[in-house]
């Protein structure tokens, strides 16, 4: 029996989980794995100001999906506390560090999505910090 196509998504917040969910809906037979360095997935950074301002009292209220629900309800395997260290595009292998066990493993993929977000850039200008 041929192996199933495998998608790996690096980044499990809003964009990464959206990509993983969309892929699973389009190809239910596809194996989908999400790597997330943090403990939590599926929240939007846009909603963090509501938590900081105390409009939302519990940050768990900002989380749309847990790793357990992603697997049970959507068939998506989520590996939290797993950090992608390097990507070998030729062999389609990702070197991943399990931050809980402090060990490194290689994970293969057929398709790869990078959804790690970005950092703001403040352009140099007079008076900026």
Catalytic residues: 46
Q: SS3 string of 6-19?
A: EEEEECCCHHHHHH
- As a whole number of angstroms, the longest Cα–Cα distance in the chain is 64
Closest CA to 107 of 97, 119, 93: 93
């Amino acid at each position: 029996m041929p192996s199933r196509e495998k998608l790996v998504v690096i980044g499990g917040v809003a964009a990464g989980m959206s990509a993983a969910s969309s892929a699973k809906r389009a190809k239910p037979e596809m194996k989908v794995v999400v790597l997330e360095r943090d403990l939590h997935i599926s929240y939007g950074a846009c909603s963090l100001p509501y938590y900081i301002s105390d409009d939302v009292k519990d940050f768990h209220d900002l989380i749309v999906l847990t790793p357990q629900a992603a697997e049970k309800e959507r068939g998506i395997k989520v590996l939290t506390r797993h950090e992608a260290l390097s990507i070998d595009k030729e062999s389609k292998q990702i070197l991943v560090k399990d931050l809980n066990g402090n060990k490194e493993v290689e994970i293969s993929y057929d398709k790869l999505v990078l959804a790690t977000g970005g950092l703001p850039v403040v352009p140099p200008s007079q008076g900026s910090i």
